[in-house]
Structure 1
Amino acid sequence: MIMIGANGVTDSVMAELDSTLTHHELLKIKIASNDRIERAATVEHIVQQTGALLVQTIGKTCVIYRQNEETELPLPKK
């Protein structure tokens, strides 16, 4: 799990998100903002910058997924 605090999404946070997605594919992110619109904008920014898919958002927590190209079990294509 990655927590995004009051400083928001910084370059170092984005680097950590990218690195973690490369290793784990599925990532839970907790956003500390109390403003629902600000949280939604933060999630959208993260999804666009990482190339991940938004799996779920519940309250202050979201789950994103980005398939690793070297995965042994590829997901079926739509």
Structure 2
Amino acid sequence: MNLRGKQKRYLRSQAHTMRPLFQIGKDGIDQKWIKQVNDALEKRELIKVNILNNCLLEVDEVKEYIEANSNIQVVQTIGHTLVLFKQSSKKNNRSYSIEVAKI
């Protein structure tokens, strides 16, 4: 699902009150971390990720790595926080993607 501007705006508004679910520290990110995030997105569809100050990677590098190595979309980056979205493959877990499809 390729997101348009209005769809991203809706997802940003939904993520506004969320707290970060994952953190990226000095160890950086790898395929194991991507799998854990992917599993969380399978249940929630929308999460926030916080990049800690001791992380050796820049925000843009993290964003590029996530988008290149998975089908997760980065909806927004604010400072050291990323908002990630992925449509769930299970219909029971789809809440945000149903609303996004209507926009």
TM-score by length of 1: 0.78
Match for 1:55 among 75, 84, 88?
75
**Offset of 1:28 from its aligned partner?**
0.4
- Report percent identity of matched pairs: 27
Gaps of 5+ in 2: 1-20
Equivalent residues in 2 for 1:1-16, closer than 5 Å: 1-16=21-36
User: Are the equivalent residues in 1 in contact too, given 2:72–2:86 (CA < 8 A)?
Assistant: yes
Secondary structure (helix, strand or coil) at the match of 2:59 reads helix
Relative to total residues, which structure has the larger strand share, 1 or 2? 1
Instruction: Tell which deviates more after alignment, 26-35 or 57-66.
Output: 26-35
Structure-2 change in CA distance of 1:46 and 1:33 (3 Å):
farther
Q: Which has the higher helix share?
A: 2
1:50 deviates by: 2.5
**Residue number in structure 2 paired with 1:23:** 43
List runs of 5+ in structure 1 lacking aligned partners. Answer: none
TM-score between the two structures when normalised by the length of structure 2: 0.62
RMSD of aligned Cα (Å): 2.4
Aligned length: 77
In the alignment, residue 60 of structure 1 is paired with which amino acid?
Answer: H
Structure 1 stretches of 4+ moved >3 Å: none
